[in-house]
Structure 1
Amino acid sequence: MRKTILSLSAAAVALTGAGIAYAQRGDRPNPDANGDGVVTLTEMKAHGNELFAKMDANGDGTINADDRQAHHEEMFAKADANNDGELSQDEMKAMHEARKERREERRAAKAGNREERMAEHFAKMDTDNSGGLSQDELRAMHEARGEHRGGEGMREGKRGMRGKHGMGGGPQMMLKMADTNGDKAVTRAEFDTALAAHFAKVDTNRDGKISTEERDAAHKAMRAEWKTKREARQAQ
């Protein structure tokens, strides 16, 4: 079989397209540090600190093209198993397989965590430990979520969230939000401001933490926005 070789520049594009861009690696940290199913602002800030440190490759306090290039080269070096400065077809295949394995591991872990959270959530709602939920318990649950009390604020928050980005847009999307002056570089001050704004947008009931439901709603809004933009591009 003919050996297919990619140049460094072409391989960098392939690495990004394969989902192994520097800001979206499979080992990215989880903002829910204690695994309780909600993300507090403190957890989000700690998550942001870790992300910024990873993306700021040269540690100069700004994320720019130099950092992106450094991370692309790092990813290329990892994929170039025989260190010949080129990626063969086999190396590209191995890279895709590794990405697939990481994705499956994350899905399995997410499914397990979801079941555990559901059990814990049910136990909290079942206040009399009867093994079932009464109408009063269901009503209390809805009120706690803000679906009855403060419902207008909840709906207003959801409308506001239909803007640019929701939770889970990924580090690259966060960088795009943070680059307020459009200079293709993100300072730490810009990053922190964007992080706080991002958290406030997803925290629709303003309780200072992001629940699973709020994260899911943000993901749904984000996917809907991507679909709209894609359809608009196709229509041009």
Structure 2
Amino acid sequence: MKKFVVAAALAATMLTGVAQAGQQDTPAPRRAGPMAMIDANKDGVLTREEALAAADVQFARMDQNKDGKVDATEMRPPHRRGGGNAPADGKAPAGKPAPGMHRRGGMGERMLARVDANKDGAISREEFRAAATTRFERMDANRDGRIDAAEQNALRERMKARSGRHAPPAPAESAND
């Protein structure tokens, strides 16, 4: 009886190993990246119109009070929008960061400073669309108004190289030099 139990356990272990090996041969499904989510018609090419439509959706999501502009208060995470001891005008006292913003500048504060072209302390829909257009043009290497798979791959490689991940190997120097 013991031999049967040991043999059954050994067979189960071997079958599990074979099943796992078979699964490793099948590539894992690739997650849809930001470009794929913006590609409305799913043709693999991102157009300027698709990018601006996605920017409009993002702006509407950020514009919590629907006043047509996004200020520092709306850029804070939802759990920090409560106001607490913030002044009634929504602006931080001079010399202090806005409530919820880090003294060194959180992501929302940096975005506000970069995108707020007229420096009024808020991002209008037009300013947000202008920033989206600038980003699109930076990615559209051949300036055809479309970001195709080759441009997306080139962008992905530049980002990997910039972050230090998968950096291309340095050329080997020959011993004769």
TM-score normalised by length of structure 1: 0.37
Instruction: Write 1 or 2 for the structure with the bigger share of helix.
Output: 1
The structure with higher relative contact order (CA 8 Å, sep 6+) is 1
TM-score normalised by length of structure 2: 0.48
Who wins on radius of gyration, i.e. which is larger?
Answer: 2
